[in-house]
Amino acid sequence: ETGVTQSPTHLIKTRGQQVTLRCSSQSGHNTVSWYQQALGQGPQFIFQYYREEENGRGNFPPRFSGLQFPNYSSELNVNALELDDSALYLCASSSLATSTDTQYFGPGTRLTVL
Amino acid sequence: ILNVEQSPQSLHVQEGDSTNFTCSFPSSNFYALHWYRWETAKSPEALFVMTLNGDEKKKGRISATLNTKEGYSYLYIKGSQPEDSATYLCAFLTGTYKYIFGTGTRLKVLA
């Protein structure tokens, strides 16, 4: 067990809707990264938060946004859902912004967009 | 566009065999390379974080090497066991804090 939890486990939405996914980081970790894994691909980096500020972003449109809270839990928000947003969403926490420290992954949220 | 490639895509080995796979990454803008093991229905588990050219890390029967000048890392498993069956992912971390994952190598160890 990594100590990182995600909710919900599974989610079904329809195109155009908005979704919020949640991640609870391992205790003491101030950095969280979010990833999207589509079928047959490796995880794609969405963004990273360090002490409540965005610290790096992959090639995702602005309708993917995030928040990190003082207790280091975080959210991934996706607006105007598209069919291609169907994927497994993973969060990973670590203790340093430089991220040469080990990342600890949660079990993921499986999002299906119909 | 930065790309990370892993090979082979999948392989089957017999219990007791040793095996290795490759992660190829851009040789510029290197910051770190992470290796993960991802078993079905579980979270990806960190194996190694490698930062220095020539680095070699070991954890039990698993070891990894790093060559940042030519842009590759090898992961070795000595004496494979059925519990080693998993997908092995590498992730390249750029100097601007972006992670780029490979698509993984799916290993099946046959008893």
Nearest to B101 among A2, A43, A57 (CB): A43
Is the CB of A45 less than 8 angstroms away from the CB of B98? yes
Say what the alpha-carbon torsion angle A86, A7, B84, B77 is, to the nearest 10 degrees: 80
The Cα of A2 is separated from the nearest Cα of chain B by a number of Å equal to 8
The whole-number average pLDDT for the span A92-105 is 77
Q: Which of B35, B83, B90, B87 is nearest to B63 (CA)?
A: B35
Q: Which one of A29, A53, A100 makes the best mutation probe of the B interface by having the most chain B beta carbons within 10 Å?
A: A100
**pLDDT, tens digit only, all 111 positions of chain B:** 678 999 999 999 999 999 999 999 998 888 899 999 999 889 999 999 998 888 899 999 999 999 999 999 999 999 999 999 999 999 998 877 788 999 999 999 999
Whether A34 has its CB under 8 Å from any CB of chain B: the answer is no
Angstrom CA distances, B85 to B11, B65, B80, B105, stand at 10, 21, 9, 10
Chain B CB contacts of A99 under 8 Å are 32, 93, 97, 99
Given this model, what pLDDT does residue A96 score?
67
Is the CB of A100 less than 8 angstroms away from the CB of B98? no
Q: How far apart are CA A93 and CA A15, in angstroms?
A: 29
